[in-house]
Amino acid sequence: MAIKVPKEREVPFGAITPAPVGQQDLFMTSNWRIVRPVIDNEKCTRCFICYASCPDSCWSYNEKEDQMEWNWKFCKGCQICIYECPSDALSAVAELDFEDGVVRLEKPF
Amino acid sequence: MAKVTELTVWTRGVVMDKEARDVANAFANAAQKEGKFVQAFDNYEDLPDRVLVTTRKYTRISDEEIPMKYEYVNHHPDIVVIVEPTIVKGINILKGMPEGGLLLINTSRPIDYMLKFIPNADVLGAIATVDADGISGIRTVDFSGSEGGVDQSGIGAGIAAPLLGALAKVTGMVKKESMASVISDVASMERGYNEVKIKKFRKARAEYFWGS
Amino acid sequence: MAKELMLSGCAAAAQGAKFAEVEVICSYPIRPYTAIMMELSRMVANGELDAEFVHGEGEHAQVSVVLGASAAGARAYTGSSGVGVTYAFEVYSPAAGGRYPLQMAIADRTLDPPGDFGSEHTDAMSARDQGWLMGWASTPQEVFDNTLINYRVGEDQQVMLPQFVCQDGYFLSHIPDKVVLPDIAQVREFLPPYSAPHPLSTTCPVSHGPQIKPDQGAVMDAQRASTFLIVPEVIEKAVADYNRIFKRNIPPFIEKYKMDDAEVAFFIMGAHANTCKKAIDQMRAQGLKAGMVRPRWVRPWPTKQIAEAFQNVKAIASVETSTSYGGAMRGGNLVHELRATLYDLEKRPLVTSFMAGLGGDVILFEDFHFMAKILNQMVKEKKTSKHVYWIGFEED
């Protein structure tokens, strides 16, 4: 007689889980931010230093529109890109100045 | 069984962790001085050693001995204190709050602006804001996370003091004098006590001072 | 001049080590016991405690370092949790067989995989055959008491055994409760300085743990087993002294709660016993004669006292907060030793076990009432229909 586990508490066999490829939607860290980086596309020289310096890979290059795209779901507001940008294209703006742009979670994780 | 008032403090790990712990502990200590049964502890599952992650601290207050001391979280917080205002945007802080609860936010922004970020605000009995950063802008960086147990020294320095003053005024659960005797920065606490702004929504439950 | 503070179990353990004036501490971080070492490092840095604080490179190194310190004649202290306890496993038998009375504070944590911080007793329970003294506390005050009592018993010249002072992770280690700290003078009266009979020394050289032949192996084992036959008397005397000096009323071996006229009883260890006591009050208010026995020691197992406490009880629920996969009852650890304890009684009570509080689960009042319901059923049917129930997974 196996021990019955309620459906909502089931866990995978041996706690082995599939690994995420690219971006996953189980653990969003957008609510860690206090400030967000705002880009001025006129000043941006497309040098890709923000893309290289972000520890979470939150900057990517949008080829069609020829501008840097910011991942609002995962940016934690560490401001490394703002400090590293050589052309002053990035500035820190309080997250509360924007009405959206954060995934609202029911519980921390 | 007497009612257990649950208080949850939301903060951010490492850079503001100590402030929230001070709020939870000092509130509990002050209530204990007035003869209540209290419990104050950190959330265990939050892994607070990550900078800026949302973490929680809890306090429970009751007129009789608290029956269940081991629950990991406060499932139905009557009072929620937000130490860093951006937290209201990204997480459902009012989850489980019974009708007529209280929300206290550390911010200089107007109350109506903050309400835009809280879709389920109709459960609230009152919302209050106090500009703790403006009153006493000190925040301590504390790398001991929640592993240090209960902080017995220097409670209430920094932004915790105005928050505690505001809590004392708005909840009416502890007297200002009891609070002053347990914390170290009484001047900021007094300012928080006087400068808190409160907006009441409707009649809260009878046990809540902020309802009438 | 006793001081009353609100301390968590970890802080209480650190205070216990400080009052015991330990001389060598070896640390390595693992949650949840790590708070003990943080407190102790702060005390050593401030000058409150004059001890050698060594940071080991792993739990195996931790126990090896304090084993060496104890062999040289120092009072040594260390600790661990969860997989740290199992990492140090190799050194447990040398510590006990070499008769070094070092102390290891354990704040329980579930064993991997995967990473679970919650409390489960399996980590320390899996080391109970290594020849150490071992016991679980249920309040921070008890953690403090056990730290001092274990040093006194372990360092007794007839005993000379290392000790595990165990507490539940989080429930006991991180939730504060009232602790009364005594005077250092009282502690010194209770706990004399450690004097090793044959320490490692340059002036009087000795060999510790040489190679032996198989025909001496059983003799070594018998020597260690004989020690455990006299440990109970040493415990009784130590606790009697503790009660006298610190004006307390601690039972030496087991804590009994409302057992005088109990018809059904719980056998439970650790912090959840506090919830159990409140649940028993609720049951008594409803007319059910329930009681609780909480063993304060797992090694030495208080066989006589447990058998005496349970002799008139009809059904017992053993609350298992540890696992023994594939064990005789296919459940937890305590039930095997409990059944062995009760085997020789004239009227054997019915015994069943409940797997509860595993992985850090909170045991709720409803769970205890569910257990009482099963016990009542057993008493009515006069038999045990199921030996292991998994709390939270049973449909009732």
Burial of C179-215, coded b for 16+ CB within 10 Å and e otherwise, reads bebbeeebbeebbeebebeebbeeeeeeebeeeeeee
Is A6's CB within 8 Å of C114's CB? no
Please indicate, yes or no, if residue C282 is contained in any of the structural domains.
yes
Identify the pLDDT of residue C127: 94
Judge if ipTM > 0.95: no
* C390–A3 CB contact, under 8 Å: yes
Asked if the structure places residue C395 within a domain, the reply is no
Shared domain for C225 and C266, answered yes or no, is no
pLDDT at C36 > cutoff 90: yes
Q: How confident is the model at residue B144 (pLDDT cuts 50, 70, 90)?
A: low
The predicted model gives C102-107 an average pLDDT of 95
pLDDT of res. B204: 58
What's the pLDDT tens digit per position in C367-393? 999 999 999 999 999 999 899 999 988
Q: What is the pLDDT of residue C195?
A: 92
pLDDT at B19: 83
The architecture of the domain spanning A30-103 is 2-Layer Sandwich (3.30)
| Domain co-membership, C240 together with C262 | no
- Nearest chain A residue to C395 by CA: give it: A4
pLDDT band at A21 (very low <50, low <70, confident <90, very high): confident
Q: Which residues pair with C332 in a beta bridge?
A: none
**Residues C327 and C380 occupy one common structural domain:** yes
Domain ranges of chain A: 30-103
* Arithmetic mean of pLDDT, A102-107: 86
- The mean pLDDT value of chain A amounts to 90
Q: Which residues of A touch B56 (CB under 8 A)?
A: 108
The verdict on residue C57 lying in a domain is: yes
Residues C189 and C316 reside in one and the same domain: no
Is residue B143 very low, low, confident or very high in pLDDT (cuts 50, 70, 90)?
low
Q: Pairing mode, if any, of strands C76-80 and C52-55?
A: unpaired
What is the tens place of the pLDDT at every residue in C311-338?
A: 999 999 999 999 999 989 888 899 999 9
Chain C interface disruption, residue of B147, B152, B155, B182, most C CBs within 10 A: B147
Mean pLDDT of chain C: 93
Question: How many Cβ atoms from other residues are within 10 Å of residue C48's Cβ?
Answer: 11
pLDDT score for C362: 92
Q: Is C117 a domain residue?
A: yes
A15, C390: Cβ pair inside 8 Å?
no
pLDDT band at residue B212 under the 50/70/90 scheme: very low
Calculate the alpha carbon distances from C94 to A36, C130, C342 in Å.
Answer: 57, 9, 32
Distances (CA, A) of B139 to A82, B10, B147, B161: 23, 15, 19, 11
pTM for this prediction: 0.91
- Whether residues C197 and C291 share a domain: the answer is no
C247: buried, middle or exposed (CB in 10 Å: 19+, 13-18, 0-12)? exposed
Q: Which chain A residues touch B53 with a CB distance below 8 Å?
A: 32, 108
- Closest by CA to C139, choosing from C273, C252, C229, is C273
Distance between first and last Cα of chain C: 53
Q: Give the C-alpha separation, C396 to C392, whole Å.
A: 10
Whether C2 shows a pLDDT value over 50: the answer reads yes
> Is C174's CB within 8 Å of B39's CB?
no
CA distance B36 to chain A (A): 30
The sign of the torsion formed by the CA atoms of C175, C180, C181, C186 equals negative
Q: Does C395 touch chain A (CB under 8 A)?
A: yes
Give the chain A residue nearest B95 (alpha carbons): A106
Residue-level pLDDT at B139: 66
Structure tokens that stand for B186 in this block: 């009484």
**Are the beta carbons of A105 and B90 separated by less than 8 Å?**
yes
Domain endpoint, select from C217, C246, C275:
C246
pLDDT of residue C37 exceeding 50, the answer is yes
Whether C329 maps to a domain, the answer reads yes
Same domain, C121 and C228: yes
Q: Given an 8 Å threshold on Cβ–Cβ distance, is A105 in contact with B92? A: yes
Kindly report, residue by residue over C57-70, the tens digit of the pLDDT.
Answer: 999 999 999 999 99
Show which of C246, C278, C312 is a domain's final residue.
Answer: C246
Asked whether residue C241 is domain-assigned, the answer is: yes
Which residue range is the domain that position C32 belongs to?
Answer: 3-246
What per-residue confidence (pLDDT) applies to B211?
47
Do the domain assignments include residue C42? yes
Q: Looking at the domain assignment, is residue C231 inside a domain? A: yes
Query: Counting beta carbons within 10 angstroms of the beta carbon of residue C114, is it exposed (0 to 12), middle (13 to 18) or buried (19 or more)?
Result: exposed
The minimum CA-CA distance between A5 and chain C, rounded to whole Å, is: 6
Kindly state whether residues C242 and C258 are assigned to the same domain.
Answer: no
On chain C, the residues whose CB falls within 8 A of the CB of B40 are 176
User: Is the pLDDT reported for residue C83 higher than 80?
Assistant: yes
Residue B184, pLDDT score: 81
Over B163-208, what HEC string results? HHHHHHHHHCCCCHHHHHHHCCCHHHHHHHHHHCEEEECCCCCCCC
Total number of domains constituting chain C? 2
| Chains in contact with chain A (at least 3 beta-carbon pairs closer than 8 A) | B, C
Distance from CA of B142 to the nearest CA of C (A): 13
Question: What local confidence, expressed as pLDDT, does residue B148 receive?
Answer: 52
Q: How many angstroms separate the CA of residue B194 from the nearest CA in chain A? A: 25
Q: Binning pLDDT at 50, 70 and 90, where does residue C80 land?
A: very high
Per-residue DSSP letter, C186: H
What pLDDT sits at residue B185?
A: 81
CB-based contact C7 B41, cutoff 8 Å: no
The answer, yes or no, to whether residue B207 has pLDDT greater than 70, is no
pLDDT at B17: 83
Burial of C136 (0-12, 13-18, 19+ CB in 10 A): buried
More reliable by pLDDT, C50 or B141:
C50
Chain C CA closest to residue A6: C393
Q: How confident is the model at residue B149 (pLDDT cuts 50, 70, 90)?
A: very low
Of C223, C246, C269, the position where a domain reaches its end is: C246
Judge if C238 and C279 occupy the same domain. no
**Which pLDDT does position C331 carry in this prediction?**
86
Confidence band (pLDDT; 50, 70, 90) for C396? low
What pLDDT does residue C337 have? Answer: 93
Under the banding of pLDDT at 50, 70 and 90, the label for residue B133 is confident
Shared domain check, C63 and C11: yes
Identity of the residue in A34, A105, A107 whose CB atom sits nearest the CB atom of B84: A34
Q: Which residues of C fall within a CB distance of 8 Å from A14? A: 113
Q: What is the pLDDT of residues C202-239, one digit of tens each?
A: 999 999 888 989 999 999 999 999 999 999 999 999 99
Q: What angle do CA C375, C339, C232 make, to 5 degrees?
A: 120
Nearest chain B Cα to C278, which residue? B67
Q: Quote the CA–CA distance of A32 and C344 in Å, as a whole number.
A: 62
Q: Answer yes or no: are the C-beta atoms of B65 and B85 closer than 8 Å.
A: no
Partners of B59 in the β-ladder? B7, B40
Whether C240 and C260 share a structural domain: no
Q: Does B15 touch chain A (CB under 8 A)?
A: no
What's the mean pLDDT in C341-369? Answer: 93
Give me the pLDDT at residue A86, please. 94
Tell me: do C174 and C262 sit in the same domain: no
Window 12-51 of C: residues touching B by CB (8 A cutoff) are 31-32, 34-35, 38-39
Q: What is the pLDDT confidence band of residue B77, given thresholds at 50, 70 and 90?
A: very high
